[in-house]
Amino acid sequence: MINFVKAIYYFNKLRKDKPEDKPKTVSKIINLFSTKRYFKKRAKFFSNPENIKLLERDKTLYLSIKEYKQFSNYKEGTLGKEIYNFLKNEDVDYAKIIADLSEFNDEYAKREKSMHDIIHIIFGYDFSRFGEGATIITDYWQGNSFGLAFVTLLAIVRQSILKPSAAPIMFTALKDVYKRQQGINIHLYPFEDNLKKDINQIRKELRIPAKTKAIYISEKYSSWG
């Protein structure tokens, strides 16, 4: 109970924080909760020799994301081009920093750091408040720390209090976000081998449903302005 009270205190502090200070505050919230889910997912990944091969190759997902400018000439609609279009945005994605647990610095940890961008791109979530929340909570549902979900849910509750009329559509959108990732394990897909493949084909292979009307509305009316 004490940790929940502390988490709410830090969450309220976020409203006064400068953008560059927000990751530090959110990290304090995440650290209040157990990271057992993350370690369980990590152990499961390493239990399969085929998964380990994804970390031992010369061109890993982490390096592909890091060197995204090389995809500038890729065909429109390909995963590589979508990565380039997404990452060329000059704005700092503070939510990406928040989603990084950073307890390890091995190849698996680097692959995990890349997953925030991959979720944004593959699921099509934008940089709006809701888009970032959808990305972070999808990361949680894919096996990451409970602290990520707590931050997102608290933000949605706060938004619903400030604008009660938006609550029904936002909670509907949140349920849709859950359904879109249900039954999918994006951590095992070799994205780095499919950079020239059409992104819609990848979504079809992963069986990711299209974004719903509720998600589009929630993204549109939850800007950072």
Residue-wise pLDDT for 53-103, tens only, equals: 889 888 899 999 989 999 999 999 999 999 999 998 755 554 555 555 555
> Distance between CA 50 and CA 63 in Å, rounded?
19
* SS3 assignment for 164-179: HHHHHHHHHHHHHHHH
**Within a domain: 30:** yes
Domain assignment present for residue 225? The answer is: no
Is 89 inside a domain boundary? yes
- Mean pLDDT for 161-177 is 88
Q: Average pLDDT, stretch 189-203?
A: 96
Number of domains forming the structure of the chain: 1
**pLDDT given for residue 99 in this prediction:** 53
Is there a domain that residue 8 lies in?
Answer: yes
- Residue 159 resides in a domain: yes
| Residue pLDDT, tens place only, 119-147 | 999 999 998 888 988 998 998 899 887 77
Percent of the chain having pLDDT more than 90? 41
Q: Is 93 helix (H, G, I), strand (E, B) or coil?
A: coil
pLDDT of residue 25: 73
Contacts of 3 (CB under 8 A, 6+ apart): 32, 33
**Which pLDDT score is estimated for 161?**
77
pTM for the complete prediction?
Answer: 0.82
Q: At residue 198, what are phi and psi to the nearest 5 degrees?
A: -60, 130
Residue 38 within any structural domain of the chain:
yes
Residue at 156 is within a domain: yes
Tens-place pLDDT, residues 13-31: 767 777 667 667 767 777 7
Print the domain residue range for 12.
2-220
Whether the pLDDT of residue 225 is over 50: the answer is: no
Higher local confidence (pLDDT), 181 or 109: 181
Task: Work out the average pLDDT over 41-49.
Answer: 90
The span from the CA of 15 to the CA of 72, in Å, is 37
| Mean pLDDT of all residues belonging to the chain | 84
Residue 130 lies in a domain: yes
**98-126 tens-digit pLDDT:** 555 555 678 888 888 889 899 999 999 99
Q: How far apart are CA 195 and CA 199, in angstroms?
A: 9
